[in-house]
Amino acid sequence: MIKVSFEELQEKLKVENGSIVLVKFGAPWCAPCKVYEPVLHSYAQAHPEYFVLESYIDEDIDAAKKYGVHGLPTTIVFVNGSEKKRKVGSLSAKALDELLVV
């Protein structure tokens, strides 16, 4: 999983056009984010076919505003640079599998 800034996220969505990009929006102080983090790290390692990114809303408020992030953690799946699905809250590996069926 790669931590990205708002600008890097925008570039990654352009560069990886045609690929599935999963972005977790969170914050270092967010308890559910801390629970979710190892699940997402393991998932990213097990599924190199997906680009798994992380954005901290405190550091990149522009990203939170642009994507309408109101609860943490929020996971958004992008395909061809467009949002396809989103879930709020910590997810299990099974829930990630279901989310990534686009």
Q: Which residues are catalytic?
A: 30, 33
Cα 96 to Cα 56, 61, 102: the distances in Å are: 20, 25, 11
Q: Which residues pair with 55 in a beta bridge?
A: 25
Asked if residue 72 lies in contact with residue 27, where contact means CB atoms within 8 angstroms, the answer is yes
